[in-house]
């Protein structure tokens, strides 16, 4: 990307490989967090997730502002070259991770086995994943998360509006990214300080309703009402992004805590990655539905007559999954770490995969 890539196909290939590498590392880190949070209360599990996502938000604060200014000053290839060094620096941290390898019937590396054994092991893992996933206390919350994430979005249309219609520069968008990174950190702090002991159903209910109402304020930016109140487009966009990101991060933290609580022992990385893939799949579906609505309303990069209607519709539809909150675990079990521990152990014992390992 920093040197010879000059076509959309080669760029897509590089982005795919980069995303794959990041996703692979992310799955490993998530499994370590799940191991440490197994059997703990919602408060402790929430603190662990807050630490991880707070660190990510802090990294975003450091880098996000320069993403716009460096593009203006040195060009995109220079920025690609600089960001290519960051994963190499991060990989050095891997030597600090201490883990104890546990070998057993289900732990022998597949590279030491024949092809038939590899296929049998893969088949066994898929069966274990399916049996764990179809448990009601795993499947029903997953359905809610998918539907909660799959409501239509107007983000792409708003991006074209702010860049083409309002003329926001890359440097200003970098400042907006800086504000959203700070807002993410604030959202993590808000959850860790005030919401980690609140039942999940109440958090989803409050943040979804609040996000829907505050999301309506984007109509002010589209119609120009903010200028009638004496607020410039830039400051309104920054304030709007700040508030929505705080709410979005605070509402997403319970998803991570819930996913960690649902993972049985021995399948931390696989099941957590599956749950997050379902969540991401719902988000992708929401983007596709939003794109379809954008086309249906006749919105293009140069025409935004019905953008306000699209924003209102998308924010109203975000309330549709709320009647399905009953699919989440009951409030009384959220605070009981023994419930999640017993369910995880039952699933593992059923498949004969209980092993004793140290936290890695």
Domain ranges of the chain: 8-100+135-351
Write out the chain's pLDDT in tens, 360 residues. 888 888 889 989 998 998 888 888 888 887 778 777 766 677 777 788 788 888 877 877 777 767 667 777 888 888 888 888 877 877 887 788 777 665 544 444 444 445 557 777 777 778 877 887 778 878 888 888 899 889 998 888 888 888 888 878 777 777 787 788 788 888 888 888 888 888 888 888 888 898 889 889 888 988 888 888 888 888 888 888 888 888 888 888 887 777 777 776 667 677 778 888 888 899 899 999 999 999 999 888 888 889 899 999 999 999 999 998 888 877 544 444 344 444 444 333 333 333 333 333
Half-sphere exposure of 212 (CA within 13 A, CB side): 19
What whole-number distance in Å separates Cα of residue 129 and Cα of residue 256?
Answer: 19
Q: Are 104 and 287 in contact (CB under 8 A)?
A: no
d(CA 340, CA 41): 9
User: What is the assigned CATH class of domain 8-100+135-351?
Assistant: mainly alpha
- Residue 342 CA to residue 308 CA, distance in Å, equals 49
Residues 285, 290: Cα–Cα separation, whole Å: 8
> Cα(272)–Cα(336) distance, rounded to whole angstroms?
20
* pTM across the whole model: 0.68
């Amino acid at each position: 990307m920093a040197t010879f890539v000059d076509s959309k196909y080669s760029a897509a290939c590089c982005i795919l490989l980069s995303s794959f590498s990041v996703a692979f590392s992310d799955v490993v880190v998530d499994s370590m967090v799940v191991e440490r949070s197994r059997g703990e209360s919602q408060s402790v599990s929430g603190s662990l997730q807050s630490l991880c996502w707070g660190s990510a938000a802090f990294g975003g604060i450091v880098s996000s502002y320069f993403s716009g200014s460096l593009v203006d000053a040195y060009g995109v290839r220079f920025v690609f070259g600089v960001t290519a060094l960051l994963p190499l620096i991060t990989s050095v941290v891997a030597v600090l991770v201490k883990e104890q390898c546990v070998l057993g019937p289900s732990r022998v590396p597949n590279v030491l086995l024949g092809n038939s054994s590899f296929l049998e092991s893969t088949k066994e893992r898929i069966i274990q994943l399916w049996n764990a996933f179809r448990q009601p206390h795993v499947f029903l919350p997953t359905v809610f998360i998918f539907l909660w994430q799959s409501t239509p979005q107007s983000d792409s249309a708003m991006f074209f509006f702010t860049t083409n219609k309002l003329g926001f520069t890359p440097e200003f968008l970098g400042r907006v990214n800086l504000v959203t990174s700070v807002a993410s950190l604030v959202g993590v702090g808000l959850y860790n300080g005030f919401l980690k002991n609140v039942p999940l159903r109440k958090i989803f209910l409050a943040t979804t309703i609040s996000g829907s109402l505050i999301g309506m304020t984007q109509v002010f930016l589209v119609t120009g009402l903010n200028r009638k109140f004496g607020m410039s487009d830039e400051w309104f966009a920054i304030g709007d992004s700040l508030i929505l990101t705080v709410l979005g991060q605070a509402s997403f933290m319970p998803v991570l805590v819930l996913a960690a609580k649902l993972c049985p022992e021995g399948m931390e990385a696989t099941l957590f990655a599956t749950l997050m893939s379902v969540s991401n799949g719902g988000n992708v579906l929401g983007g596709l539905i939003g794109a379809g609505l954008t086309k249906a309303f006749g919105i293009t990069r140069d025409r935004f007559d019905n953008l306000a209607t699209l924003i209102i519709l998308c924010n109203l539809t975000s309330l549709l999954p709320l009647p399905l909150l009953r699919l989440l675990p009951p409030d009384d079990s959220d605070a009981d770490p023994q419930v999640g521990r017993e369910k995880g152990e039952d699933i593992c014992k059923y498949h004969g995969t209980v092993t004793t390992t140290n936290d890695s």
